[in-house]
A and B are shown apart, each in its own frame.
Chain A
Amino acid sequence: MDAKIKETLLNPIFKGNPITVLVLGICSSLAVTVELKGALVMAVSVIIVTGLSNLILSILRNTIPNRVRIIVQLVVVALLVILVDQILKAFAYPVEKQLSVYIGLIITNCIVMGRIEAFALGNKPFASLLDGLANGAGYGLILVIVAFFRELLGSGTLLGMRIIPESFYEAGYMNNGLVILPPMALILIGCIIWVQRSIQKDLQEK
């Protein structure tokens, strides 16, 4: 049993990462990774939403009428997303203002619905909660890695603090404007997938 819990928790972080292996949730990972702070808030929000939606729907799984199950899932996910948005609005207003569009889009994040359909509807609540949290974390991990490089190379800062010293700029160093734009995020994610596939040989197509 312990081995199974470990597997549920660790698999989505690396071996079955939702972004790099399942290639879900790409859209939002391009949009919110310009700054590390936004990526962190987004990561936490998605972890909460995937975890709780998996838990709630797993508890309800035997009562949900099969014909309207997608709608029921959507209602629950939408509820959680709006709650997260409202709470951020009350306690982290500047971040919410910057991210509000993307927080709303968590509803359409394929990872959330994907995990509910694939896992929560067929497993016990506790295991579903873990699966949701772990998948959110796997998503968040990639987000943070991408945001780290984008903020460092694009703005020379991390979490808003200057990392690259002023003397570098005086010596002719310039921030890379391309890294700020979404295409570079896609290339960065490509690089991460490349690294992962070279480590994990079984992902490579023959």
Chain B
Amino acid sequence: MTMNTNGNIYTIVYSAIIVILVAAILAFASSALKPMQDANIKAETISQMLDAAGIQEKGTAASNEEILDKYAENIEAAFAIDTNGVVTGTLSIARDNIELIDGLKAQNKNIKDKKDAKLPVYKFKNGTTVIPIYGGGLWGPVWGYVAFNSDLKTIAGAYFDHESETPGLGAKIKDDPAFRALFKGKVADFTAKPAFAIVKGAKGDHEVDAITGATMTSKGLSGAIGTWFKAYAPFFNKNVEE
């Protein structure tokens, strides 16, 4: 049997079958691989927090299991707060059931809309308190983790990441250790607005220098820090006084 492979009906039916088939394969692959991908993303998130808290060196390659072990060893408490600084819930820190608040994008929207945000606070045994930040860079989202010393003012370390900032320019927020080192020892002033900023020609303790050639990324990151620090300010101010 020979079919006319150039007829209109044949062409349409053929295309439809191919597309449906391909869609089915992709949907299956996506759902089959999702648990492993999520585990990778979770381990990476934890790894970024450990970097910020100064518990591990950046670039030390570790397996997911090692990262989870390290987190379980070093974490003291993890809980969620709202934008009034009230603790609204605890996050499990058990080795086999580590709870994180991911979906920072949704929380970022909650903060901006002044809705009930669920903000995570991670306290580590080395005295640091780690909070996330999230915002828009030049091409896509930028986010990161900032660790504070036990005085809840002095920055102990920071880790930033991005989705698609320009390599060699905006991407330096992640790739350039010198930029992240700028944050160490700086002080966030949670009574001021903004509490902390990235500016050109930084002066004093509450500012760091922006990255040359990456003005938009620097501004975006600065805005992310400003927004999130403001959301955490009630919590920090409360706990500093005590």
Residues of A within 8 A of B (CB): 62-68, 71-72, 75-76, 78-79, 82-83, 86-87, 89-91, 93-94, 101
**Which of B3-11, B77-85, B95-103, B190-198 has 4 or more CB atoms under 8 Å from chain A?**
B3-11
Distance of A60 from chain B, by nearest CB (Å)? 9
Judge whether B239 is part of the interface by a CB distance below 8 angstroms.
no
Shortest Cβ distance from B48 into chain A, in angstroms? 12
Q: A75-B18, A75-B22, A83-B26 are in contact. Are A64 and B5 (CB under 8 A)?
A: yes
Interface readout for B4-31 with A: 1 if CB under 8 Å, 0 if not?
Answer: 0110001100110011001001100110
Could you give 30 example pairs across A and B, Cβ below 8 Å? A62-B5, A64-B5, A65-B5, A65-B11, A65-B14, A65-B15, A66-B5, A67-B6, A67-B11, A68-B11, A68-B14, A72-B14, A75-B19, A76-B22, A78-B22, A79-B22, A79-B25, A79-B26, A82-B26, A82-B29, A83-B26, A86-B29, A86-B30, A87-B33, A89-B33, A90-B33, A90-B37, A90-B40, A93-B37, A93-B40
Q: Which of A63, A64, A68, A86 contacts B33 (CB 8 A)?
A: A86
- Which of chain B's residues 104-139 have a Cβ closer than 8 Å to chain A? none
Distance between A45 CB and nearest chain B CB, rounded to angstroms: 15
Task: Give complex CA distance A89, B36 in Å.
Answer: 8
Nearest chain B CB to A92's CB is how many angstroms away? 9
| 7 pairs of A and B residues whose beta carbons are closest in the complex | A93-B40, A90-B36, A65-B11, A90-B33, A79-B22, A89-B37, A90-B37
Of B6, B29, B41, the contact of A66 (CB 8 Å cutoff):
B6
Interface residue? B61 (CB, 8 A):
yes
Alpha-carbon gap, A14 to B68, bound state (A): 47
Count B-side interface residues using an 8 Å CB cutoff: 21
A167 nearest CB across to chain B (Å): 23
Find the residue from B14, B18, B25 having the highest chain A CB count within 10 A.
B18
Alpha-carbon gap, A40 to B217, bound state (A): 31
Q: Are B26 and A65 in contact (CB under 8 A)?
A: no
* A71 and B22 alpha carbons, distance in the complex (Å): 13
Chain A nearest CB, measured from B3 CB (Å): 8
Known: A65-B10, A89-B40. A72 touches B18 (CB 8 A): yes
Residues of A within 8 A of B61 (CB): 94
Structural contact, A72 and B6, CB atoms closer than 8 A: no
Q: Find A63's partner among B5, B30, B41 (CB 8 Å cutoff).
A: B5
B76 near A: Cβ within 8 Å? no
Q: Are B15 and A91 in contact (CB-based, < 8 A)?
A: no
| A63→B14 contact, CB < 8 A | yes
CB distance from B33 to the nearest CB of A (A): 4
Let me know if B44 is at the binding interface, CB within 8 A: yes
Q: Per-residue 0/1 for B162-204: is the Cβ within 8 Å of any A Cβ (1 yes, 0 no)?
A: 0010000000000000000000000000000000000000000
Cα-based distance from A86 to B29 in the complex (angstroms): 8
Known contacts A64-B5, A72-B18; 16 additional CB pairs below 8 A are A65-B5, A65-B11, A66-B5, A75-B18, A79-B25, A79-B26, A83-B29, A86-B29, A86-B37, A89-B33, A89-B40, A90-B33, A90-B36, A90-B40, A91-B36, A101-B164
A71–B44 CB distance below 8 A: no
Q: Provide the residues of chain A in CB contact with B37, threshold 8 Å.
A: 86, 89-90, 93
Q: What per-residue 1/0 map shows which CB atoms of B37-62 lie under 8 Å from chain A? A: 10011001000000000000000010
Least CB distance from B74 to A in Å reads 21
Instruction: Determine the distance from Cα of A63 to Cα of B40 in the docked complex, in whole angstroms.
Output: 41
Which chain B residues border A67 with CB–CB below 8 Å?
6, 11
A76→B15 CA distance, assembly (Å): 11
Quick one: which of B26, B30, B40, B44 has the most chain A CB within 10 A? Answer: B40
Whole-angstrom distance between the alpha carbons of A66 and B33 in the complex? 35
Q: Measured between C-beta atoms, what is the minimum distance from B178 to chain A in Å? A: 15
Residue of chain A at shortest CB distance from B25: A79
